[in-house]
A and B are shown apart, each in its own frame.
Chain A
Amino acid sequence: MREIVVISGKGGTGKTSITAAFAMLGGADVVVADCDVDAADMHLLMHPDYNFAEDFYSGEVAYIDQSNCIRCGKCVDVCHFDAISVKNKLFVVDPISCEGCGYCARVCPTKTIVNNDRLAGKWFISKIKSGSIMVHARLGIGADNSGKLVAKVKNEAKEIALEERKGFILVDGSPGIGCPVVSSLSGANFVVLVTEPSVSGLHDLKRVYELVKKFKIKAGCIINKADVNPGKCAEIVQFLSENDIVHLTDLPYDENFTKAMVLGQTMVEYDHGVLKAILTKIWEKVKQLSSG
């Protein structure tokens, strides 16, 4: 079983549309993991049935039981996150600011602070229209995206793939360079970097590639909307060759990506011409590279 992760540094580069096209082309042999839990969009194209759903708890949040509070103020003094304040003479925790460090509960003289498990989101196992299975999630508002939910989604996808003897896991990776993307990348056999030819695209590509290098994972790159800025595109190609990143393909600026999205379709369902042909060829290549 091989693991392919698609990332882009930042959003808006067409990463999810491309991942969904690959998922469709891969059909029943590809278990999909939507690890972009902070802005999960795969479901809008893959039409999951939410067959299995479960709450996901991660970390804790402090709660002050007023009945035993003697208003000594110790908790306020020790909290380094300004999460406890006095409202109408009552000491209360702001659950959004609370980091769940548990310090206040340890010093409270009357032990009236409890640490509750924090509901961090929900995760799902679904049948999807490619004839396969997708593991996906929804991060709770203001939850700590520490990568734990991402890791959960990935591990579940892996287990299913092993159990059902699937050939591939395809991961829609998280943005940024922090914990979630680290969780998305760990264990990958091949990384597809999706970028666009702009100053910010190149800048973000370089930063996220630093991370990929640390993991020593083989990488390939798709330059989306390549014709918007041929100069920048050439700079990206240069960067790819200097860093031994496979230049997979260039895709044109094409509003059909949006039109397909409006219909809830992947690009390979919407288009039956050049784009579909390119995407099909690239998917075969990615599969090959991930197995090499």
Chain B
Amino acid sequence: MKIKADTTVCIGAGMCVLTAPEVFDQSEDDGTVVLLQPSPPADQEAAARRAVGLCPSGALSVVP
């Protein structure tokens, strides 16, 4: 599984970091999403998927 993040639409709400802290971080400057693990390991996949579903701005997607 691969995750894509579009920082131009991210609103820095932090839901991703709260949900899957090993996969996502937020930039110190503008709070937008930073992908720590674009291809999350198997044990992080479920949390990463939940984060994609919770993201309020539609910045995150799962690449098939």
**Does B bind A?**
no
| Contacts from A to B (Cβ < 8 Å) | none
